[in-house]
Amino acid sequence: MSLLAQHIVFIMLISSPDIPASIENAVIAHYDPMLKGRVESYTIDIRRVPRIKIKDFTILGTRGDDNTEVPRGTRLCWVDIATNGQKRSLGITVKIETVEKCPIAINDIRSRTLINDELIEWRPVSTAGFGSTRIPDKEELYNLRTKVNIRAGTVLSMNRLSKVPAIDVGDYLDIVSRSNSVEIIAPGKALQDGFIDQKIRVENLSNGKRLQAKVVSNGRVILE
């Protein structure tokens, strides 16, 4: 089994007689569940810890990055402890290096291109510098398209992609207007992309008027 096929944890601890190992272990235990199974490999490097001289204490819990899909780079983890009837919070600086399997553009890809297997390949990439940028998984990726031009060798992260709208700018469509029980349909053209239930600008090709209408399905909008 290759190294990248395993979930590797390398922990670098700062040696300090003032910092109990239990606090360091609490930080590691906090981040392990966020990383295991989500990345190819990772290292957790505890960079900075507050200088304290406490022997008797109880760890109440840890906080930080709880709603983060994949924590990367330099983070701040809070360890809550109780000692002598008082509660204290210790800020521990941690640097997390991650390697993730990412979709990479094989060749240049133009904007508004639907992603498929011929355009990308999956490779392990160091993502520590990606911050909170999200990497789509395979199931999600193939329902997306590029929203900017992408050069060969670039990671297709979510900030470069978007969902495919129900209506594309330039599409010809039906503009529906209703009055009491009467429905009138006029030929139109989309002036911007639109998702279901979103209002977009359209042009009525019968009279040249530009209107706001709500997308109700592919190729169909309704005036409200």
Confidence at residue 19, expressed as pLDDT on a 0 to 100 scale: 56
**Alpha carbons 14 and 94: distance in angstroms, whole number:** 11
- 8 and 86 assigned to the same domain: yes
- Based on the domain organization, do 143 and 112 belong to the same domain? yes
Average confidence score pLDDT of the chain: 88
Any residues with CB less than 8 A from the CB of 209 and at least 6 apart, and which? Answer: 203
Residues 129 and 210 in one domain: no
Measured CA distances, 207 to 92, 179, 186, 204 (Å): 65, 19, 10, 6
Would you place residue 11 in the very low, low, confident or very high pLDDT band (cuts 50, 70, 90)?
very low
Indicate whether 156 and 187 sit together in one domain: no
CATH code of 216's domain: 2.30.30.760
Domain count for the chain, please give it: 3
Domain boundary (45, 79, 98) is at 98
Reply yes or no on whether the pLDDT at 17 is more than 70.
no
Classify residue 87 as exposed, middle or buried by CB count within 10 Å of its CB (0-12, 13-18, 19+). exposed
Q: Return the pLDDT at 3.
A: 41
pLDDT at 75 over 80: yes
- Same domain for 75 and 25: yes
**pLDDT exceeds cutoff 90 at 117:** yes
Domain containing 58 equals: 3-98
185 pLDDT tier (thresholds 50, 70, 90): very high
pLDDT band at 8 (very low <50, low <70, confident <90, very high): very low
- Do 62 and 94 fall into the same domain? yes
State the pTM of this model.
0.71
